[in-house]
Each structure stands twice: as structure tokens, then as C-alpha cells.
Amino acid sequence: MTGRRGAVRAATPVGVADNPAPWDAVGLTRQEYRSIAAALGRAPSPLELGMLGAMWSEHCSYKSSRVHLRRLPTEGDAVLVGPGENAGVLALPGGWAVAIRVESHNHPSAVEPFQGAATGVGGILRDIFATGARPCAVLDGLCFAPPDEGRARHLLRGVVEGIAHYGNSIGVPTVGGATAFLPGYRDNPLVNVMAAGWLRADAILHGRASGPGNPVLLIGNRTGRDGIHGASLLASRSFAEDPAGLRPAVQVGDPFVGKLLLESCLELAASGLLLGCNDLGAAGLTSAASEAAGRGGMGIELDLDAVPRREEGMNPYEVMLSESQERMLLVVEAADEAKAIAVCERWGCDVARVGRVTADGRIRVRDHGELVADMPVALLTSAAPRYRRPARRPLVPARSSPGEDLPAVGDWLARLLAAPNICSRRWVYRQYDHQVQTATAVLPGQGDAAVLWRKGTEFGVALALDGSGRLTRLDPYGGAALAVCEAARNVACAGGRPLGLTNCLNWGSPEDPATMGTFVAAIDGMARAARALGIPVTGGNVSFYNETSGRPVDPTPMVGVAGLVADIGLRRGSGFPATGLAVAMLGPAAGRLDGSEYQALRWGAASGAPQRPDFALERGLLRVLAEADLRSAHDCAEGGLLVCLAECVLAGTAGAAVRLPKPRGRLDELLFGEAPGRVVVSTDNYPALAALCREAGVPCRKLGVTTDGRDLVAEGLGTWPLRDERGLEPWLG
């Protein structure tokens, strides 16, 4: 083929060279192929087409979501690095900072749950240390079908084992998250992974290429054939009935190589030897090289003969599009190349010089001295198409009409506490090492958010990951807004002041106007909530095509929030910690049955209009939780008020005797209805709490006191011993 910049040899055919519709083989449309040919002034070579198919995929280019993501607020006093880099970075006291990001590994986990989840952990950790941060925490957001279904149990076991395998082996604690079980995930599970890491604010690394002539190094694992077309044909298309044939597109992780890679990169960063650092994730060497060059306004030349390989006979197409794990692309000064290579070799990492930075804004790939790809970097990155897909706005939901009230309080409390979406997740988190690095100050099961201590200082960070497919299915705008509010509220309950958020948006096909309509509404809700609470978005991920044969998942926004715990000694758990404390409820007294766990259990499905958040109330609540002298705080979420009180007893060392407000309507709405903006707290200074609540405009009601023993006593309703917390074990067979 002949282009404007000389001859480009056709790489080894891989199903696209002689195909009458070559765009199909790489996930492009006919029109996209034509625009590529017009931009190049010629037909693309098979390698160029494969590279563009990967970079123009939904997974890499965000071509259906980018026009909407612009509405999210991304600037704030604490934001040091926002969207567009490997991870967002937020400022902390004393010159410290925290890097955060959340990503999805839904499609690989549906095909091969162990490796899909394990490589999800590995990938998100590389995003964190690519900024120069040492990873300090992992959180997982998992969604499955009900656990009494055989495939759901298989997926759950495989995913949890994969997360435990990678996190435990590499030495990063898995400290929290969320796990949901709903019919809307019957065909496609969701596996979202969030990570955080410590770094100095004046030592942030960027994924940029700079300095024409500077060497480009590839370090870490050798390149194999695993994961080819993972971005374009696995993560950017819907499944047919049986996705088993896609297993070759799933990557295979090695946490022990990941550990060597992590330590190599952090030593190189600390030594000042790195100009840029980029993870080889989706689309492999293609994305790492083109994104680094694009961010830096540079070009890049690659010599594939220098790429270390673990399989014989790999052609240029396979090398450039392999998604083999545990690999990083580094840019160093020419004068520092030998020092950088020596560091990598000391850690036992394979390292090779595979190219150099150029000044002409083009990416050139050579194989055996011949040019096999030559195109503008911008064609792979900023010139990717952006679509404003047809979107049919969802109807505003109407209130449901529930059946008769139910006075059998004790029976329903027991059923709710044992329900899969409420019962303890100890079966999950006990498989994780959540205390490695010895800085986890609030452990899983102890609080609404994890708290990590920054050793050598007085502060820490609180981390929470939340989202509800059930509520977002019923009300996309309200459900997404609620996800932001709940994650922020959980951080505040643990004693943190929210600084920023990262998100992972899990939806079906963007080509379906109904699906796209719910996505647009959810972005509006998330943007409104983030602005109202002053919590900027530092980055995230959009995962489309989570559907099988036209059956999409429940639209699920997962929101991760990081907050500053200014005094680590004042961190809080959710359980009542001592006797004789006042028990109070902050926020509105009654909830709503629509969308509640109680409604789903009692009538077989959640329906109606879940209550939307009151942003003024949420702001006031965050202030109260930050300033009040509280001994515990627990968000009143799934299951409602009575379940929340029971959880406070189960998570603590004291019982409680309470007198609940008289219901204005239904008893079950008071006890088991759900509404945002409600928190149950304990304090030894109730008058001061009440005064602060009045000042902040937050309703506050004293319910009772904490007591000896482990009983929950509700005057006029019953007494319930709460000795043992139900877990997932009975559901797993």
C-alpha cells in the first residue's frame, strides 16, 4: 500500500486482508472504515485497521458517551489531576495526595470469572501506580443474579477467588465495596474494581511522551497472544446466548510479575528517571503508545523486533493488539536509559527499548525493518468518532399502590436481615487480605466506608463504592443522583469529608434509544448531585454492551468517593460502641416502599418511584457528620430504619432500646421504607448534636439509648436478640 508518507507493508493477514467487509473483523462500521481511508488517503493496512478498530471501539474511545460526560463537573480545590489520565489525583494535607480510579471488567468476568476479575484488579492497580502512587486499597462493586441460581453462584465464587488471588498476592488490601443480587444481572454480571494509592503531590507522573529522541521502554511481562480483540470485540459488543467462545479474548494475570512491575515503576519514579508512564491495558501496545504520544503532542516510532515475546511466530498484528497483562510503557531521558534499565533488571522485570519519541505527531511501526503502520497519532485518539446516539427519555415513574399493611414486624425483620442484598458479606471479605500494609483503620463489616491511615501523619482517607441498579432502573435520574449521595454519605459516616469521586457506568447497548435515554438521564442526575454536594468527578469508565441477545443489565452507576479523615483517631464505625449513648436519627422519619428491598421481597419485584434526594438536606447532613461529636454513624439504606438499627447492634458491642416515631401512615413504610438522607448515630452529647442539626437544617430525633447485651428493643413493637449476623453462606449451597 502506498500512503502520503511512503510504503506501508501489509502485515500478516488476520482475517481482514481479503475480507470484502474488513471493518466487521475489527468492530468498525462501513462509514467508519470510509472515514479512515479518507483520512489516510488510502486503504489502511490490516495492522492499521486492527489498531484503529481497537482505539475506535466503544471501550477505548467512549464514542457514544463522550458528548454526555462533558456535563459532569471535574474541577475542585482538591483536584490535582482530573479526567484523561491513568487515574484522578486529589490533594491531602502535608503535601500528600491520593490517586483514585474505578474500572469495569464485566465482559471478561462473564466469560471467565476468575481471570476476568483477577486481571480487573491488576489493571486498576497499574492505573494507580502509573501516576507514581503506591496502591493502598482495592474495593469491588459486584452485581449478580440471585445467589440461589447455579450460574450466579459459579460466577460469584470465581470472581471473589480472582479478586482475592490477585489482591492478596500483590500485597494490596481489599477493604470494601458493594455486592448486589438482582434478576437484572441474570445474563451479564458486573465486576467493577476501584483502587486508591498514596503519592506526593509534587511527584505526580503523567502518561505522556515528551522529548523527541527519548527512548521508549517496555517493561514487565512478555507479550503473548492473550486478550487480542479484548477491547474491540469482547468489551464493545453484546453477547450472544453463549459467550464461551470468547475465552481467548480474556487476559491472564500474574500478580507476582505485577508486584515486580509495581516496585520497578515506583523506584524509577522516586529516582526521577521517568518522564512518562502508561499502562498497557485495553488495546495493549497500541493504546499505550498512541495515548502517551497524543497527551504529549508528540509522535512515536516502534520497532516490534525488540518486543520480548513468550510465544513463537507472533505477527505484528498480534504484538500490537495483545492485551497481555503486567506491562508498562515508559519514557525516559536518553541519558537515563541505562539507569532505568538497571533498575528494572534488579527487580527481575523484562525490559526492552522498543522505540523512540518523535516530533511529527505520527505513529510508525516497523517489523524486520519494514514499515507496517504509519498514521497520525490523532487519528487513533482525538479523531475517533463521537456520536450523539438517538435517546428516548425515560418516563418519570409513578408511585406504586402497595397492598395491605403488615404488622408481623419480627418476621419481616428476620427475613430482611437474611436477604441476599442485606445480609453480611463476610463470606466475601474473609477471602481478602484487608490488613496487609497494616494501615486499614476501619475494616470490612465495621463501617459504612473503609478508612486507610497515611502512616506518619494524623490523617487518613475514607473510601466508599456504591450504586443501585434497582433504583436506577426505576428512575435513571434519581438512581444516579442517589448513588453519588449515598457514596458521599457513607464516607461522611466514617468521619470523612468527601473530596472527589470516580465512577463506572454500566449500561446495555448505546445503539438502543431506550438504553441511551436512561444513560443520558443518569448523567444528568449524577452531574446535578455532584455539583450540589461540591464533589468533582476525577475520571472513570463507561461500560456499554452489557447485554445478551437484547436483554440489557439494569443500568448501574457505580460511584467511588474518597474523603479526608482529618484526625484518624476520630474515625467511626457503624456499630454502637458502648452503653449509655443517645441513639438518634438524622433526616426524615419515614421512607418510601417504592424500590425498597421490602417491596421486592414481599411483592416479588421493586416498582414505582423511589424517593429522590433532597440536595439541601444532603449538604447539611454531610456538614453535621463532619462536625458533630459522634461515636458511630450508619447510613439508613436497604431495608429501612428497623434494619438499620439492627445492623448498628450487630456491628457493635451494645444493644439499643428505642421508641420509634408514630407512623403517619403505614407501619411498614416507617419501619422498612427507604429514603435518602437518613443516618442513625450514637453520641454522648445529644444536645450539641441537636443544636448543630438545627443550624444545618437537618431533622434530628432522639430514638433511645444504647444498652447492655445485644438486643434491639423497640417499644410497642418487640424485642429481638441479635447475636449472630446472617451471611451469604445459606444461599451458596
| Whether the predicted pLDDT of 13 surpasses 70 | no
**pLDDT higher than threshold 90 for residue 6:** no
d(CA 144, CA 694): 42
What tens digit of pLDDT does each residue of 589-601 get?
888 999 999 999 9
Q: In the prediction, which pLDDT does 590 show? A: 81
How far is it, in rounded angstroms, from Cα 539 to Cα 141? Answer: 17
278 in a structural domain: no
Q: Give CA angle at 196 (195, 197), nearest 5°.
A: 135
**What are 666-697's pLDDT values in tens digits?**
999 999 999 999 999 999 999 999 999 999 99
Domain range holding 633?
A: 574-726
Beta bridge partners of 81: 89
SS3 content of the chain, % helix, strand, coil (to 5): 35, 25, 40
Is the confidence at residue 12, as pLDDT, over 70? no
| Residue 2 reports pLDDT greater than 70 | no
For the chain, percent of residues with pLDDT exceeding 90: 87
Closest CA to 262 of 362, 384, 130: 130
**Three-class SS of residue 621?**
helix
Q: 614 in a domain, yes or no?
A: yes
Predicted local confidence at residue 5, as pLDDT = 42
Range in 229-238, 617-626, 690-699 with the lowest mean pLDDT: 229-238
Mean pLDDT of the chain: 93
How many Cβ atoms from other residues are within 10 Å of residue 342's Cβ?
11
* pLDDT band at residue 507 under the 50/70/90 scheme: very high
Indicate whether 282 belongs to any domain: no
> Do 86 and 355 contact (CB within 8 A), yes or no?
no
Sheet with 350-358: list strands edge to edge. 276-279, 327-331, 215-220, 350-358, 299-303, 362-367, 370-376
> Residue 63 class from Cβ within 10 Å (0-12 exposed, 13-18 middle, 19+ buried)?
buried
CA distance 212 to 207: 16
Q: Give the cell for residue 50.
A: 486492527
Residue 209 in domain:
no
Q: Look at residue 1 in the predicted model and tell me its pLDDT.
A: 34
- Kindly state the average pLDDT of the residues 88-97: 98
Cell of 676: 435518602
Q: What is the pLDDT of residue 733?
A: 76
Q: For the chain, give the percent of residues with pLDDT over 70.
A: 95
Residue 601 resides in a domain: yes
Rounded to a whole number of angstroms, the distance between the first and last alpha carbons of the chain is 60
Does the structure show a pLDDT above 80 at 406? no
Say if 305 falls within a structural domain.
no
The alpha-carbon radius of gyration of the chain (Å, integer) is 26
Q: What is the reported pLDDT for 403?
A: 82
**What is the arithmetic mean of pLDDT over 631-647?**
97
Does residue 669 sit within a domain?
yes
Q: What is the pLDDT of residues 551-585, one digit of tens each?
A: 999 999 999 999 999 999 999 999 999 999 999 99
Pairwise CA distance, residues 143 & 65, whole Å: 22
* pLDDT value at residue 335: 97
When pLDDT is cut at 50, 70 and 90, the band that residue 118 belongs to is very high
Give dist(CA 571, CA 625) in Å, integer: 11
3-state secondary structure of 713: strand
Residue 576, CA atoms < 13 Å, CB-side half-sphere: 32
CATH number of 672's domain: 3.90.650.10
pTM of the model: 0.94
Instruction: Check residue 404 and give its pLDDT.
Output: 85
- 543 - beta bridge partners? 506
Q: How far apart are CA 263 and CA 269, in angstroms?
A: 10
Q: Residue 237's pLDDT band (boundaries 50, 70, 90)?
A: low
For residue 523, being part of any structural domain is answered with no
Grid cell in block for residue 537: 468527578
Q: Average pLDDT, stretch 131-145?
A: 97
CB 601 within 8 A of CB 417: no
The domain tally of the chain equals 1
pLDDT confidence of residue 251: 74
Q: Would you place residue 407 in the very low, low, confident or very high pLDDT band (cuts 50, 70, 90)? A: confident
pLDDT bucket at 548, cuts 50 / 70 / 90:
very high
Which value, to the nearest 10 degrees, does the dihedral of the CA atoms of residues 568, 570, 574, 580 take? 150
For residue 712, the tally of other CB atoms under 10 A from its CB is 26
Per-residue pLDDT, averaged over 89-116, amounts to 95
Cell of 476: 435513571
pLDDT in tens, 148-189: 988 999 999 999 999 999 999 999 999 999 999 999 999 899
243: pLDDT strictly greater than 70: no
- pLDDT mean over 273-302: 95
Band (pLDDT 50/70/90 cuts) for residue 725 is confident
Which amino acids are annotated catalytic? 59, 105
Confidence band for 664, pLDDT divided at 50, 70 and 90 = confident
pLDDT of 4 higher than 50:
no
Residue 24: the pLDDT is 86
The Cα 86–Cα 96 span in angstroms is 18
